[in-house]
């Protein structure tokens, strides 16, 4: 029985000993016409090969900071993959490769600062594997990005409280009230700065992919 198109492409890709981004870009460029016209699969094996190839493509794009392309390709091919999973009744095929595609999609949206799109993806990943620390960290960063306006608002309010105490202290005769304003403002600024530093520091240490 002759190998299918997707199997030929997969086997061709796997002939390399290493898979750096440039190799992957060249490979998908060379096979773009055939690969982009594949929308249905005969069996689980073909769909698995397709999922793994998409993962490789997204990995290469993400490593090169091409986040718009990463998100667009993930959206396009996940639609095909999910349709075929339903058609072939292959829910068990949702393995690490499949969820890796979802992760790249979420990370790309995050890097584009589209936290409204990235947060539901990370929530889905955490629901799938609640013990995965990588998923949980990405979710916390995305939630932080989505709520960043709160941090900025706290900083502005605290700064205004300090300025009011400095320039209008004559209007606040009570020493205790003035000290309370300063204390609350400084506490808010310090807490916000520490939280921002903690999130950003941990983000730099987070495993990518």
* Domain boundaries, given as residue ranges, for the chain: 5-139, 148-204
Give the model's pLDDT for residue 63. Answer: 95
The model's pTM is 0.75
Contact 100, 55 (CB under 8 A): yes
Give the model's pLDDT for residue 61. Answer: 97
24-37 pLDDT tens trace: 999 999 999 999 89
Give the model's pLDDT for residue 150. Answer: 63
Contact 62, 209 (CB under 8 A): yes
Give the model's pLDDT for residue 93. Answer: 93
Give the model's pLDDT for residue 202. Answer: 63
Give the model's pLDDT for residue 194. Answer: 72
With 0-12 / 13-18 / 19 or more C-beta atoms within 10 angstroms meaning exposed / middle / buried, residue 127 is: exposed
What's the CA gap between 39 and 149, in Å, rounded?
Answer: 42
Note down pLDDT in tens along the chain; length 209 residues.
Answer: 345 899 999 999 999 989 999 999 999 999 999 998 999 999 999 999 999 999 999 999 999 999 999 999 999 999 999 999 999 999 899 999 999 999 999 999 999 999 999 999 999 999 999 999 999 999 988 988 877 656 667 667 777 777 766 666 666 666 666 666 667 767 767 777 776 666 666 655 555 44
CATH number of 5-139: 1.25.40
To the nearest 10°, the Cα dihedral for 126, 128, 130, 133? -60
Q: How far is CA 128 from the centre of its chain?
A: 15
Token pair 């993806």: residue: 121
Q: Which two tokens stand for residue 54?
A: 């998409």
Largest CA distance in the chain: 92
Give the model's pLDDT for residue 67. Answer: 97
What's the CA gap between 80 and 102, in Å, rounded?
Answer: 13
């Amino acid at each position: 029985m002759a190998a299918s198109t997707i199997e030929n492409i997969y086997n061709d890709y796997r002939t390399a000993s290493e898979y750096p981004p440039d190799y992957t870009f060249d490979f998908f460029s060379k096979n773009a016409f055939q690969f982009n016209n594949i929308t249905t699969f005969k069996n689980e094996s073909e769909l698995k090969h397709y999922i793994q190839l998409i993962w490789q493509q997204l990995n290469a794009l993400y490593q090169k900071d091409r986040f718009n392309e990463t998100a667009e390709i993930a959206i396009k091919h996940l639609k095909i993959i999910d349709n075929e999973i339903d058609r072939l009744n292959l829910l068990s095929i949702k393995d690490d490769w499949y969820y890796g595609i979802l992760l790249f999609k979420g990370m790309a949206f995050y890097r584009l600062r589209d936290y409204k799109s990235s947060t539901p993806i990370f929530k889905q990943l955490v629901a799938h594997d609640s013990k995965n620390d990588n998923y949980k960290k990405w979710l916390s960063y995305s939630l932080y990005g989505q709520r960043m306006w709160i941090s900025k608002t706290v900083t502005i309010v605290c700064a205004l409280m300090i300025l009011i105490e400095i320039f209008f202290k004559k209007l606040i005769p009570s020493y205790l009230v003035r000290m309370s304003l300063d204390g609350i403002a400084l506490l808010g600024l310090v807490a916000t700065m520490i939280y921002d530093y903690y999130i950003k520091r941990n983000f730099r240490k987070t495993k990518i992919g």
